[in-house]
Chain A
Amino acid sequence: MNEKLENILLKPSRPVGIVGYGAYVPRYRLPATEINRIWRGGEGGIPVKEKAVPGRDEDVATMSIEAARNALKRSDVSPRDIRAVWIGSESHPYAVKPTSTVVAEAIGAVPNVQAGDWQFACKAGTEAIVAAIGFVGSGMADYAMAMGMDTAQGKPGDALEYTAAAGGAAFLLGPAEESLAVIDCTYSFVTDTPDFWRRAYQKYPEHGQRFTGEPAYFKHVTEAGKTLMEATATSPDDYAYAVFHQPNTKFPQRAASMLGFSNEQITTGLLAPQIGNTYAGAAIIGLTAILDVAKPGERVLMVSFGSGAGSDAFSITVTDSILERQGRAPSTSDYIARRTEIDYATYARQRGKLLMK
């Protein structure tokens, strides 16, 4: 450990781990070539192969329920013992009225529970996880459910329409001794950097184009990852896997290479090419894909990124319990394989992009 830096690491006084995890991806896929066909005359490069699109009866509440139920299946926890249900998203169905109460009720966690919706662009989910670690780590609660889930909005024709996707993951945090993976520590790097935003009553977000790259994504992801490794005196070799926020295919690949990680280390958690950018769900659904195949003792580095801007970095070590829990719920790759391709017209209908009046 680097003593000077150790103070800025977040470590609960009571060790905390992941006692259950679950993913959810809706079944519909819109190939990026479809967006090119409609908006670019079929020409030009594509940032991902395809993206996941929610069905007409799906939203962040229904999708969070699916993921939370999967997380419960991978735990031995009764929902009545859950003391917090926290959901990070930038597509909460209501501006006022929590998604988290709907989900808490549906999974049987009411009424002795904290419930709240979190917002920090694409890192709302990991912010909720850090809070849940604190909640359990302080001893105020034994179990807290934290989620990141989105049905992201991409303006028709905008560069973000290729990637703005739906999906996410849920994590049940609890005492380390019951966990399938221990949270070693976390570190967050946050500044006021306005690279991407959506104001109240706006349907689609706006962004600063190339400003979203160097000064936003790359600066925060690499600073968070680098500082966590320095403070824990670890190097990329100490991690079996690394997973980063993945707004497209290239950004996480480049961030990984800047931090010294190989392609092999990031391939398992790099899902953006197949499902797009699931925003608040993006880094953490990558983590579920890793946990699906990880072996006891393996260490994982996860770094999220949220516009506005900040990154949460996590060091996570898998325990022996993982092997028995992995198969209790559908794997992330099961969800990715469950695939119905749609065309742009169907997508426009499903996503409410046709104005009727």
Chain B
Amino acid sequence: MTQVVIAGIGQTPVGEKWDTSLRELAFYAIEAAQEDAGGLRPQALYVGNMLAPQLSGQAHIGALVADFAGMNGIEAVTLEAAGASGGAALRSGYMAVASGLVDVALVVGVEKFTDQVGSIVEDALATASDSDYEAVQGLTQTAQAALLMRRYIFEFDVPRTAFAAFPLTAHANAVGNPNAMFRKAIRPEVYERAGMVSDPLNMFDIAPNADGAAAVILTRPELLPPGFPHPLVQITGSCLVTDTLALHDRPDPLVFHAARLSVERACQQARITPLQIDDFELYDAYSIYGVLSLEAAGFADRGEGWRLAQDNCIGKEGTLPVSSMGGLKARGNPGGATGVYQAVESTLQLRGQAQDNQIPNTRRAMIQCLGGPASTAATHILEVP
């Protein structure tokens, strides 16, 4: 199959960007990615975004961003798959280049939470769940994650404190990421003392909603500008899978089936097994999602994912580093931009440009973002050829 490489990456700091608009955020990430790519001009733009229609009163973001970035005339569309929107946009860009129909594709993930506060944000986030059967009952994504975590603790007799491994790792890694929202390590006692948000989820089990934008430019290796300065990073696997939208429609709610299938298929395409992964950028919107993602990817058996996270195994010197730049928990959760941030961060790792956060000898990274409780799962494999 045609090789698809990452020619440029760009990202804005993640956080409460009250004075930066949706279009400006996207533009800053694009500007950085174009500079990184040595001036490649995209023919198509794929935007990942989940909430702009509800929170910014803005749909039609493909045309908006193309216009604001001075790219009038190119093909541009928005991809929406809740928290997996960024992964969906990345896959569209990948397919466009791999098919040969597009030479250079620009993929942008952008999210702007802070245009609104309070129940307006809760209402918007609830649109990702099954409106007729879940949201109508007042179920929020956070309450749903709490139900999952409670069930997991009950089924597998897990100490609640075991989940601390995910936020502790994320916060420790974010210290070295200049674009992260919370660049401060936390101690286990701080985790244990944190206020309960939706029992058993405490404040540190939940990633903070944040503004941000990230961009990648994809092309074929032969189209790279002469003297391309970065080590090559290739996308060797790409897969997007869906599951039931409502959690109650699943035979076993503690299995992220779509996440499992997307890992299997992406690895199959890349001709690797998950055990060959050096860096796993997983979707830790809730720490229970981190556990279930490890199990879905086959790194641990059902009910054993939390054990894998103990003893710093998921830290950057561990056997399976995750959330190497802070993950959603400490870099921040920029909604539909998440999948593109993961692509940017794993590219930094594979190029050897992750500085303080560099995982030694990284050759293969797997990135995965989820929409809701893995009702959509988008997984990509990135490799140094």
Contacts and interface: CB of A to CB of B under 8 A. Distances in A.
A208 interface: yes
Nearest to A44: B195
A156 to B, nearest CB: 16
A209 B16 contact: no
Contacts of A177: none
B16 A210 contact: yes
Contact of A208 (B19, B117, B195, B196): B117
B116 to A, nearest CB: 9
Contacts of A45: 195
Contacts of B114: 211
A18 B373 CA distance: 64
B118 A211 contact: no
Contact of B118 (A43, A44, A209): A209
Interface in A27-44: 43-44
Nearest to A207: B117
A215 interface: yes
Interface string A173-196: 000000000000000000000000
B263 to A, nearest CB: 36
B19 A209 contact: no
B117 A211 contact: yes
In this complex, the member of B19, B117, B196 whose beta carbon has the largest number of chain A beta carbons within 10 angstroms is: B117
Contacts of B118: 209
Interface string B109-121: 0000010011000
Contact of A209 (B117, B195, B196): B117
Contact of B19 (A43, A44, A210, A215): A215
A178 B19 CA distance: 47
B182 to A, nearest CB: 14
Contacts of B19: 215
A215 B15 CA distance: 13
Contacts of A215: 18-19
B195 A43 contact: yes
Contacts of A208: 117
A43 B118 CA distance: 21
Contacts of A209: 117-118
Nearest to B121: A209
A174 to B, nearest CB: 43
Contacts of A43: 195-196
B268 to A, nearest CB: 45
Contacts of A44: 195
Interface string B16-30: 101100000000000
A278 to B, nearest CB: 25
Contacts of A211: 16, 18, 114, 117
Residue with the greatest number of chain A CB neighbours at <10 A, chosen from B16, B18, B19: B18
B190 to A, nearest CB: 14
A209 B19 CA distance: 16
A45 B114 CA distance: 24
Nearest to B18: A215
A215 B114 CA distance: 13
Contacts of A214: 16
Interface string A199-221: 00000000011110011000000
A44 B117 CA distance: 21
A43 B195 CA distance: 9
A157 to B, nearest CB: 12
Contacts of B16: 210-211, 214
Interface in A196-246: 208-211, 214-215
Nearest to B118: A209
A211 B17 CA distance: 10
A43 B114 CA distance: 27
Contacts of B18: 211, 215
B194 to A, nearest CB: 11
A248 to B, nearest CB: 17
B49 to A, nearest CB: 22
B85 to A, nearest CB: 24
A208 B120 CA distance: 12
A208 B118 CA distance: 9
Interface string B91-118: 0000000000000000000000010011
A234 B114 CA distance: 38
Contacts of B196: 43
Contacts of B117: 208-211
B152 to A, nearest CB: 24
A346 B114 CA distance: 37
Nearest to A209: B117
A43 B203 CA distance: 14
A210 B195 CA distance: 18
B208 to A, nearest CB: 10
A204 B195 CA distance: 27
A210 B113 CA distance: 12
Interface string B347-373: 000000000000000000000000000
A165 B11 CA distance: 44
A214 B114 CA distance: 13
A209 B16 CA distance: 12
B121 to A, nearest CB: 10
Interface string A35-60: 00000000111000000000000000
A215 B19 CA distance: 9
A204 to B, nearest CB: 14
A134 B18 CA distance: 36
Interface of B: 16, 18-19, 114, 117-118, 195-196
Given A43-B196, A45-B195, A215-B19, 11 more contacts: A43-B195, A44-B195, A209-B117, A209-B118, A210-B117, A211-B16, A211-B18, A211-B114, A211-B117, A214-B16, A215-B18
16 contacts: A43-B195, A43-B196, A44-B195, A45-B195, A208-B117, A209-B117, A209-B118, A210-B16, A210-B117, A211-B16, A211-B18, A211-B114, A211-B117, A214-B16, A215-B18, A215-B19
Interface of A: 43-45, 208-211, 214-215
**A-B pairs, 8 with minimum CB distance:** A209-B117, A215-B18, A208-B117, A211-B18, A44-B195, A210-B16, A209-B118, A211-B117
